[in-house]
Structure 1
């Protein structure tokens, strides 16, 4: 699916059976002189071929790195309500969350 897509896949917490990320955790794009960091994240789900790291732990690993490189940080988050509650309490430097 990713091979045929015309856009990059991003996920900071979806890993293969060896614990390696399957996708880049984020991308940085420039839009008219504004650098935008886009992080991908998913709530836990079951699939035999992948491991889903705790989303808040994965986000903690990358969010400051992205914030240092970007003027705006966007989180694409396929999330459960409990994860959104934890995100709001985290104080992470995220400007926009898209669920």
Structure 2
């Protein structure tokens, strides 16, 4: 049988006195809730608009080529930056071009 000790990892119960006494017990005496909480993997943050989502601009914006895209224009998200803090959006009409926009400047279309 094995046990888990913070800072020591997994050890056989017979090698550690704190675990040896519970070797015959049917209850788990391993990792505490605090240790499990500390070691857990953080969930991946999902962006508000995943790639290939159709979005609309909430205000006028300027493309990478210097052309102004009017508010309300629809485009497609082609890249997500900083877990959804900014998006690369491709527009086909009324203006053709790409631009990077913060999440506050977009809405689902």
Normalising by structure 2, we get a TM-score of: 0.20
Higher RCO, 1 vs 2 (CA within 8 Å, ≥6 residues apart) = 1
Rg larger in 1 or in 2? 2
Q: Give the TM-score, by structure 1 length.
A: 0.21
Name the structure with the higher strand share: 2
Which is richer in helix? 1
